């Protein structure tokens, strides 16, 4: 008998076991990739529906309420996004971006709606981030819609505070030349032009008194 027979058999068994393990691993990976592809396709379809029927209609409704608001859709990058930007203006003196993103979790068995709000510069406290996780196989669009509406309401509450927050409105403040009261240019009850300058009034009566004898009030306030 070949003196190396037992050793040769031992090596062959080890190699067969290795081949079997590799074959099993390859089969497992093929099955796993097939499942990932199936879940990814399911996610992309569900994300597109959420974006089109839940998120975008509500964002369009929001954008229609504010001058200078513009919606940007940015699909891709591992998810689907709807972004609404708000131009900085005297009423809302901040660069503002509101984003809803639809992304999968690591195992692609949940669909996540994320909320992100950015206000720059930051002078007030506000809720800038939140998430809602839904099972990929059973998405409740009603619940998702309610959550999106609640987050938009959070945004509106924070955004409207820009109108009254002193840190944002200092540059808009004027002094009523008649009564001496501080007046926000955005909320002035009346205005008048005199000597190439615009004056702002807290009530109509102050504006009427000013226009009777503007030189008096301008002289008194200089």
Q: What is the pLDDT of residues 69-107, one digit of tens each?
A: 999 866 545 459 999 999 999 899 999 999 999 999 999
How wide is the angle at C-alpha 68 spanned by C-alphas 64 and 72, nearest 5°?
75
| Contacts of 30 by beta carbon, 8 Å cutoff, 6+ apart | none
With residue 148 as reference, give the H or E element that holds it: helix 141-160
- For the stretch 28-58, what's the b/e string if a residue is b when 16 or more beta carbons lie within 10 angstroms of its beta carbon? eeeeeeeeeeebeebbeebbeebbeebbbeb
91 secondary structure, DSSP code: S
Question: Which residues in the chain come in under a pLDDT of 50?
Answer: 76, 78
According to the model, what pLDDT value does residue 73 have?
64
According to the model, what pLDDT value does residue 19 have?
85
According to the model, what pLDDT value does residue 25 have?
86
According to the model, what pLDDT value does residue 30 have?
85
Q: CA 217, CA 74: separation in Å to the nearest integer?
A: 55
Query: Considering the chain, what is the average pLDDT of its residues?
Result: 91
CA neighbor of 187 nearest in space, from 205, 207, 208, 202: 202
Q: What is the pLDDT of residues 46-67, one digit of tens each?
A: 999 999 999 999 999 999 999 9
According to the model, what pLDDT value does residue 104 have?
94
With residue 130 as reference, give the H or E element that holds it: strand 129-135
According to the model, what pLDDT value does residue 58 have?
97
Query: Which sequence spans correspond to the domains of the chain?
Result: 38-163, 169-221
Q: CA 86, CA 213: separation in Å to the nearest integer?
A: 41
Instruction: List the helix and strand counts (H, then E) for the chain.
Output: 6, 9
82: left (phi over 0), alpha (psi -120 to 50) or beta: beta
According to the model, what pLDDT value does residue 182 have?
94
According to the model, what pLDDT value does residue 220 have?
54
The partner residues of 110 in beta bridges, in order of sequence, read: 135
Instruction: Tell me phi and psi for residue 179, to 5 degrees.
Output: -100, -15
Instruction: Tell me phi and psi for residue 213, to 5 degrees.
Output: -150, 70
Both tokens assigned to 15: 């190699």
* Backbone CA torsion sign across 165, 169, 170, 173: negative
According to the model, what pLDDT value does residue 78 have?
47
Model confidence, pTM? 0.77
């Amino acid at each position: 008998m070949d003196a190396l027979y037992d050793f040769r058999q031992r090596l062959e068994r080890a190699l067969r076991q290795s081949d079997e393990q590799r074959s099993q691993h390859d089969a497992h990976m093929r099955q796993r990739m097939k499942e990932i592809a199936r879940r990814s396709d399911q996610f992309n379809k569900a994300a597109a529906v959420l974006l089109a029927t839940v998120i975008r209609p509500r964002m369009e409704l929001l954008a229609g309420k504010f001058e200078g608001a513009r919606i940007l859709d940015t699909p891709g990058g591992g998810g689907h996004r709807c972004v609404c930007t708000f131009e900085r203006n005297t009423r809302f003196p901040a660069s503002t971006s509101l984003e809803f993103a639809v992304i999968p979790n690591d195992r692609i068995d949940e669909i996540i709606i994320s909320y992100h709000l950015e206000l720059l510069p930051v002078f007030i406290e506000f809720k800038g981030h939140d998430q809602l996780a839904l099972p990929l196989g059973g998405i409740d669009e009603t619940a998702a819609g309610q959550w999106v509406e609640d987050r938009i309401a959070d945004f509106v509450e924070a955004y409207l505070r820009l109108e009254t927050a002193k840190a944002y409105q200092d540059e808009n403040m004027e002094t009523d030349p008649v009564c001496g009261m501080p007046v926000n240019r955005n909320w002035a009850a009346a205005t008048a032009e005199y000597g190439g300058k615009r004056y702002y009034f807290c009530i109509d009566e102050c504006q009427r008194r000013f226009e009777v004898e503007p030189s008096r009030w301008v002289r008194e306030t200089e």
